[in-house]
Amino acid sequence: QVQLSESGGGLVQPGASLRLSCAASSSTFNLYAMGWFRQAPGKEREFVAAISGSGFNPLYTDSVKGRFTISRDNDKNLVYLQMNTLKPEDTAVYSCAGAPNFLVYDSSPWYDYWGQGTQVTVSS
């Protein structure tokens, strides 16, 4: 069982930056691919980014490429999502998820563990 806890959300203006963090409670954190997903009001949950257990092979949805960066620190059991040049359409609840696999996936069924989420609101 892996517990995930996100932090770092908030209310920012368009063009601003935020860094989300996800803390994992697992002694084998480096064996998990980690992903970030988001869900806006009235919309389905969508994939944002994912990274392999070793920290390589980042994967991004097209709408965030060049603006968001996923990274991880396996020594601290943390995964990050650096979000730059935020837009109002980035407003959503962001959740991290863990998959006990070496490969990265862009769909939620592959992920077994989920955090509660953190709200990101981009508004002027």
Report the 3 state secondary structure along the chain.
CCCEEEECCEEECCCCCEEEEEEECCCCHHHCEEEEEEECCCCCCEEEEEECCCCCCCEECHHHCCCEEEEEECCCCEEEEEECCCCHHHCEEEEEEEECCCCCCCCHHHCCEECCCEEEEECC
Give 124's pLDDT tier (boundaries 50, 70, 90). very high
Q: What is the mean pLDDT of the chain?
A: 95
Q: What is the pLDDT of residues 20-35, one digit of tens each?
A: 999 999 889 999 999 9
Q: What is the mean pLDDT of residues 12-19?
A: 98
67-86 tens-digit pLDDT: 999 999 999 999 999 999 99
Q: Is the pLDDT of residue 99 over 90?
A: yes
The confidence score (pLDDT) of residue 103 equals: 86
Answer whether residue 56 shows pLDDT above 90.
Answer: no
